[in-house]
Structure formats: structure tokens, C-alpha cells
């Protein structure tokens, strides 16, 4: 099944048609800078540009960077505050005339990893943790997504813990990977107070350096690097759209 996958972020909006059967793109990814301010109207125009670029006529899946319930934004994250309570799927459908499925962007990336990556066939409670500018998370039980687990928003010193333990904090404070890993280890300990996963899958740019810092981590939960890397958001969004069409 071919579906256009779109990944909306604070700095860029990416899209590509995805061949879900062969787990591959049907063409080069196309990227548009996220408009500033990133209002619903401005972002919808960018989505239309992506649809036009690929001359797309079929279903579309979108990963969006905030809590999403039934296609509606329940917060606005790093986007413009006017996104709060917007029915995003309907907004894009009215703009383009195409059917849209919208899910949380971290859930989209995690879904790709569980369906096509290292998480395929893993059972029990699996936490896919994506470390980049922030900390994204997708939680699965026996392969079923438990949506909108924003573990990076756990509070630490009255602020989201991702401000302390994300890769952006490592860069901002000039930490080595080993120094940063002590912070990430602290994050995992906080997470395990809430729940103890059977598996961790680590994604985002930091995962490329897992061999440099894994020995610092004290968690007893098996932890491996993700496979889908930068493709995850697009593939997962497309997969969510496929699942929605089959219901």
C-alpha cells in the first residue's frame, strides 16, 4: 500500500510517499522549512505544497509534535499556541481534499521502529525513546501502541526532564557522551519508577553513538539502538494511516 507520510517538526516539514509493503520510499524526501509563526493556516499551506510536489491523490499520514487524540491537538508543544484544540485531520482534509490520519510524532517514529525496525516481534512492554532536541517516547504492549506517553515531559526541578537529559542539553553544555549518559541514566531511573519496560529501543541522533556511552547506563532493561533512524517519522505516519483505513 502506498501512502504519503509527512513529519511536521518545529524547524522543518518533511514528506515522501512510502511503500509500506517494501518498507521503502517511492521518491526523494521533500522538505519545507516550518513557517514562523507556525500557525495552523501557515502549516496547512505547507502540507498543500507537499501534496502538490508529489502530485498525491491518496491517503496521507501525519506525525505532529504534540499530544493528539482522535486527530485533535490537545496541546501545542513547540508550535504556535493557536494549535490548541484544532482538529488537525479535518484542517488538512479541507485544505487538500484528501483523507488524513494524524498522530503524535514520537508515536509515529516508534510505530515505524516496532513494525519495520528492531522492535518487530518484540513482546511485553517496549519503550521506544528518541533523543534529539527533546526526548520523544512511544510505548507498546505486545505490539499495540499506548498513545501520547510524553515521558520527556516528566518534571525535574520544576521543568521538563528533557531540558536536562536531551541531546540538545549535551550540546548546549558541552558535555561528553559519557557525561551526558549519566543524565540519561537518571531519566531512565525516573521512568522505571512509573513502569519497568521489558525492552528499551533508543532512537534519534544519539543512538549512533550508543557504543560510546552504553556502559555508563545502570538499567537492567535490555537496550538497543533503533534501526529506522531518520526515516521513522514518515514511515510511522504512513503506517498509522494504513491502519486507520483498515478499521
Q: In this predicted structure, what is the pLDDT of residue 205?
A: 82
Peptide bond into 196 cis (omega under 30): no
**Any idea which architecture 118-226 has in CATH?**
2-Layer Sandwich (3.30)
3 state DSSP class of 225 = strand
Q: How confident is the model at residue 186, as a pLDDT?
A: 98
Contacts of residue 81, defined as CB under 8 A and 6 or more positions apart, other chains included, come to none
pLDDT at residue number 148: 87
CA-CA distance, 116 to 14, in Å (whole number)?
20
pLDDT tens for residues 79-122? 899 999 999 999 999 999 999 999 999 999 999 999 888 999 89
User: Boundaries of CATH 3.30.420.40 in the chain?
Assistant: 2-107+231-246, 118-226
Q: What is the mean pLDDT of the chain?
A: 93
SS3 81: helix
Architecture of domain 2-107+231-246: 2-Layer Sandwich (3.30)
Greatest Cα-to-Cα distance within the chain, rounded to the nearest angstrom: 51
pLDDT, tens digit (0-9, with 9 covering 90-100), for 185-241: 999 999 999 998 999 999 988 999 999 999 999 999 999 999 876 678 888 999 999
pLDDT at 58 over 90: yes
In tens, the pLDDT along 136-183 reads 999 999 999 999 888 999 999 999 999 999 999 999 999 999 999 999
Q: For residues 234 and 242, give the distance between their C-alpha atoms in angstroms, rounded to a whole number.
A: 13
- Strands, sheet with 223-225, edge to edge from the N-terminal-most edge strand: 144-146, 135-141, 125-131, 199-203, 223-225
Whether 50 shows a pLDDT value over 80: the answer reads: yes
Amino acid at each position: 500500500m502506498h501512502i504519503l507520510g509527512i513529519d511536521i517538526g518545529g524547524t522543518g516539514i518533511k514528506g515522501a510517499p512510502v511503500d509500506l509493503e517494501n518498507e521503502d520510499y517511492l521518491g526523494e524526501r521533500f522538505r519545507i522549512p516550518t513557517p514562523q509563526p507556525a500557525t495552523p493556516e501557515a502549516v496547512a499551506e505547507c502540507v498543500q505544497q507537499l501534496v502538490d510536489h508529489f502530485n498525491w491523490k491518496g491517503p496521507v499520514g501525519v506525525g505532529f509534535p504534540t499530544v493528539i487524540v482522535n486527530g485533535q491537538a490537545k496541546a501545542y508543544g513547540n508550535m504556535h499556541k493557536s494549535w490548541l484544540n484544532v482538529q488537525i485531520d479535518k484542517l488538512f482534509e479541507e485544505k487538500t481534499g484528501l483523507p488524513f490520519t494524524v498522530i503524535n510524532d514520537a508515536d509515529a517514529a516508534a510505530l515505524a521502529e516496532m513494525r519495520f525496525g528492531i522492535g518487530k516481534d518484540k513482546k511485553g512492554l517496549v519503550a521506544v525513546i528518541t533523543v534529539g532536541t527533546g526526548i520523544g517516547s512511544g510505548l507498546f504492549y505486545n505490539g499495540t501502541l499506548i498513545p501520547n506517553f510524553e515521558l520527556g515531559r516528566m518534571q525535574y526541578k520544576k521543568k521538563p526532564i528533557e531540558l536536562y537529559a536531551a541531546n540538545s542539553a549535551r550540546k548546549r553544555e558541552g558535555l561528553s557522551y559519557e557525561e551526558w549518559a549519566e543524565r540519561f541514566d537518571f531519566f531512565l531511573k525516573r521512568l522505571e519508577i512509573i513502569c519497568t519496560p521489558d525492552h528499551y529501543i533508543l532512537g534519534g541522533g544519539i543512538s549512533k553513538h550508543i557504543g560510546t556511552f552504553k556502559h555508563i547506563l545502570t538499567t537492567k532493561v535490555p537496550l538497543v539502538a533503533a534501526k529506522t533512524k531518520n526515516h521513522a517519522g514518515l514511515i510511522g505516519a504512513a503506517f498509522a494511516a494504513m491502519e486507520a483505513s483498515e478499521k
